[in-house]
Amino acid sequence: MSSVPEELRKVTVPVVRSARDAGIRIVMLTAYDAPTARLLDEAGVDILLVGDSVGNNVLGYDSTLPVTMDEMLHHTRAVVRGARRALVVADMPYLSYQTGRRDAVRNAGRFIKDAGAAAVKIEGGRRRAALVRALLDAEIPVMGHIGLTPQSVHVMGGYRVQGKRVDEARALIEDARALEEAGIFSLVLEGMPEPVGRAVTAAVGTPTIGIGAGRYCDGQVLVFHDFAGFNPGPPPRFARRYADLNAVIGDAARRFIADVRQGSFPSESEVYSAPTPLTSDRRPGRG
Residues classed as catalytic: 190
- DSSP-derived 3-state class of residue 36: helix
Interacting residue with ligand KIV among 52, 71, 180, 226 (CB under 6 A)? 52
CB closer to ligand KIV, 145 vs 272: 145
51 scored as a contact of ligand KIV (CB under 6 A)? yes
CA 167 to chain CA centroid, nearest Å: 30
53 scored as a contact of ligand KIV (CB under 6 A)? yes
Q: Which are the contacts of 22, defined by CB distance < 8 A and separation ≥ 6?
A: none
Query: Which residues between 115 and 144 bind ligand KIV (CB under 6 A)?
Result: none
For ligand KIV, the nearest residue by Cβ is: 51
CB closer to ligand KIV, 179 vs 211: 211
Exposure class string for 117-147: b at 16+ Cβ within 10 A, else e: bbbbbbbbbbebbebbebbeeeebbbbbbbb
Neighbours of 259 (CB within 10 A): 13
CA 19 to chain CA centroid, nearest Å: 19
Contact call for residues 255 and 268 (beta carbons, < 8 A): no
CB closer to ligand KIV, 91 vs 180: 91
CB closer to ligand KIV, 49 vs 173: 49
Interacting residue with ligand KIV among 188, 192, 217, 228 (CB under 6 A)? 188
Smallest distance from ligand KIV to CB 23, Å? 23
Interacting residue with ligand KIV among 16, 104, 204, 221 (CB under 6 A)? 221
What is the Cα–Cα distance from 28 to 236, expressed in whole angstroms? 17
As beta bridge partners, residue 49 has 30, 89
192 scored as a contact of ligand KIV (CB under 6 A)? no
Smallest distance from ligand KIV to CB 59, Å? 12
Contact call for residues 150 and 169 (beta carbons, < 8 A): no
91 scored as a contact of ligand KIV (CB under 6 A)? yes
Among the residue ranges 10-18, 44-52, 100-108, 171-179, the one whose residues contact ligand KIV (CB under 6 A): 44-52
Among the residue ranges 45-53, 176-184, 235-243, 254-262, the one whose residues contact ligand KIV (CB under 6 A): 45-53
CB closer to ligand KIV, 91 vs 175: 91
Contact call for residues 201 and 208 (beta carbons, < 8 A): yes
Contact call for residues 214 and 194 (beta carbons, < 8 A): yes
Neighbours of 39 (CB within 10 A): 12
The residue type found at 214 is G
Smallest distance from ligand KIV to CB 47, Å? 10
| Dihedral class, residue 147 (left if φ above 0, else alpha if ψ from -120 to 50, else beta) | left
* Binding-site ranges for ligand KIV (CB under 6 A): 30, 49, 51-53, 91, 145, 188, 190, 211, 221, 223
